[in-house]
Amino acid sequence: MLYENKIQEIVRLIKGSDKTFALTGAGISTESGIPDYRSPGTGLWEKQDPAKTASLSALRRDPAFFYSTNLKRWTAFNDAQPNTAHTALAQLEKMGLLDGVITQNIDSLHVKAGSKTVWEVHGHLRTCRCMDCRASHSFDHLVQSFDNGENPPRCLKCGGVLRPDVVLFEDQMNDDYYQVTFEISGCQLLLVVGSSLTVYPVAGLPSYAKEIVIINNTSTPYDNEAAVVVHESAGKVFRDIMHKLGVTL
């Protein structure tokens, strides 16, 4: 199918669906300057083993090393801005054509773009909590503590080690994930954007949808089951989708 025909078919599916969700992965944020995890040559996990550096056991074993290794990368997310794809999804929700965004990303770019219904199934970097007393703090406090020479950053209440409110390797999934497995029931159309669909349990969510559209630079295990597959950048595809819907981004 030609690219133009694919865009027309995606628009037809969006208009015809009464319950549509988007599932986004790291690929939607690369145009905002955030590298993804698994792209050959540039993926973050090609440079380090996440089981050794970004896992719950790594944090417990050596919290100072954990923060020295990960915090600079995470704070870089705070400077990133939403791109066309994030803005388009927020606009689709505003137009009543999208029921919500399920994201694997921790960069908060959907929230920044104005999306109102967002399930951050791997958490976010807006808050953190104490590993001992579980008191909540802003993520800014964690960063400021680290920048002031406190490594690992400590809880203001009990002095325990702080941890970000993200789902680390070896962590249990968060409440957003369990909520979305209920909310997605009856989904007519799932727009998969920038996800390789290889990380479980989130990679199993497309099985809840009647029809799937995949927008990703590389192939996924679900390509053969999708109604439309577009191997292009998310920004380009959504700019063209919104143009067909009469919206200029």
Q: Is 86 a known active-site residue?
A: no
Q: How far apart are CA 180 and CA 150, in angstroms?
A: 37
The catalytically annotated residue of 110, 122, 124, 137 is 122
130 is in an annotated binding site: yes
* 58: Cα within 13 Å, side-chain hemisphere: 18
CB 201 within 8 A of CB 177: yes
Q: What is the full DSSP assignment across 59-121?
A: HHH-HHHHHHHHHHHHHHHTT----HHHHHHHHHHHTTS--EEEE---S-HHHHHT-SSEEET
128 is in an annotated binding site: no
Q: How far apart are CA 35 and CA 54, in angstroms?
A: 16
158 is in an annotated binding site: yes
Question: Which residues are tagged catalytic?
Answer: 122
Q: Which residues does the annotation place in the binding site for Zn(2+)?
A: 130, 133, 155, 158
Q: Which residues does the annotation place in the binding site?
A: 130, 133, 155, 158
